[in-house]
Chains A and B, each alone.
Chain A
């Protein structure tokens, strides 16, 4: 006995179907309870064992083939239907999207992140301290004598202290040097970014600003190390390899010898270009820690020495990012902040990830 149908014919019939209903008709014809294949199956019992085996295998094979072909063709028909449907579906994708405000990081923070990254790679750690400071930490310990002009009311903000002695709003972040030296033993290697205050307000001064202070104390740091550290920092910060700079003598009560650094710049069409030219821009003050300061902080100056440096973060920000109006940094002009702000994903690591 041979099958009354040929698989090729069945395939053709199935693939000629245009609708799922047509497929169903064919399914019933072959696979339904009274369909061709089940009917053939019933007849198997009449056969010999050997025939039954051969015939049974054939029938099963055919059943699987029909099922698979039907399923494949059903998917084909469904997809075709879907494709037809999609042809009639559309939106105007040029309609504007919801513009959620993108947040950003202030240029001062971004600058501080850069500074921390560069000095962090040199193995400096970051310290912080309070904005309201004692006279000792802000002035006396740093060898700024009582009659020094910086202490005048016109330069320093004073706040009442309950115990009678006035506190100051720190005029630099240097008091954190003092705090660090008083609480820990050398070697010390820190930077201190933070808010600072001076009673000054005009187009280039704000009553509050930011500084970063650096301090290194060990047994053998020299002025050569100081100079090298700062040059390395400035080159990395401004991302200029052949930065033209000047390292020249200056004076600060808390360092001896003292120095200041200038970087060269040119100004063309009101745009400042750092690193080359014949004009100079003062960028930081530094020096070897005055032995008196070490002694004031209970560090033996006959054993230990070190260096300190300080720079204005606003100035660094303005120079690096081309900001011309210092007061804009402290305004709440959202357009300004949006213009000069940085994506929170603009990381200041070397790999930038």
Chain B
């Protein structure tokens, strides 16, 4: 059995409002808000790397868990926006955390990466001990590459989230997880080398609108749980309209879907863990509360993970 120990997050200090972004994209702040539910996002400084953000989130996570880097048996870093082909950011993050011999794995999966890393850690924790999962993205660079498309550039922000999954104990046990991949629509959301992010929004919304509720229901039904019994849904923050649609599909009150997309935009694989870190810091769930994570992203890859507080 594996447990969630703690979460951490980092977002850059530079706030980019819709008012700042709209003139550059030949649109209006009101249109951005209507299309996405986003009012502002954070952009990293030019010299700030994916690894830098990952380390900041990891350190907060370790601190909140009352652990040091030496307690980590395996590091997994998810990022779809690493600056180079190899080595990926995992080795750099490990080095910056002071880890010299700990295995560090890259998961270049984009939006579903944080969820997949957590789901895999459920079993990896048994073999390796405490697993530090970090998801970090510098989306501002890839979303604003020329030719810039307003419908894409408005969505994304930068940031990192982290989580520690432990084999022994923790404030919440991982009950189960489901993961799925289908390459049939791989061309509909992709990032080629040096090209801007390419997205067929209609295809992504159609698929995500079905697959996210489907994965959530799958993991709940496998464990004889109902959607209405879940305390909070911590979902990939892709678009507020999508989050609301998933809530409707599950017939769950929208307020049960924690959302911070208004402030950070879509930070790809980092978004779910940033949301989790914020929610976890302020929430005081009673023992036995169900928390459901869910994500969907390029690939397409999607899944859901169910935890229960102890």
Q: Do A and B come from one complex?
A: no
> Which chain A residues have a beta carbon within 8 Å of chain B's beta carbons?
none
> Which chain B residues have a beta carbon within 8 Å of chain A's beta carbons?
none
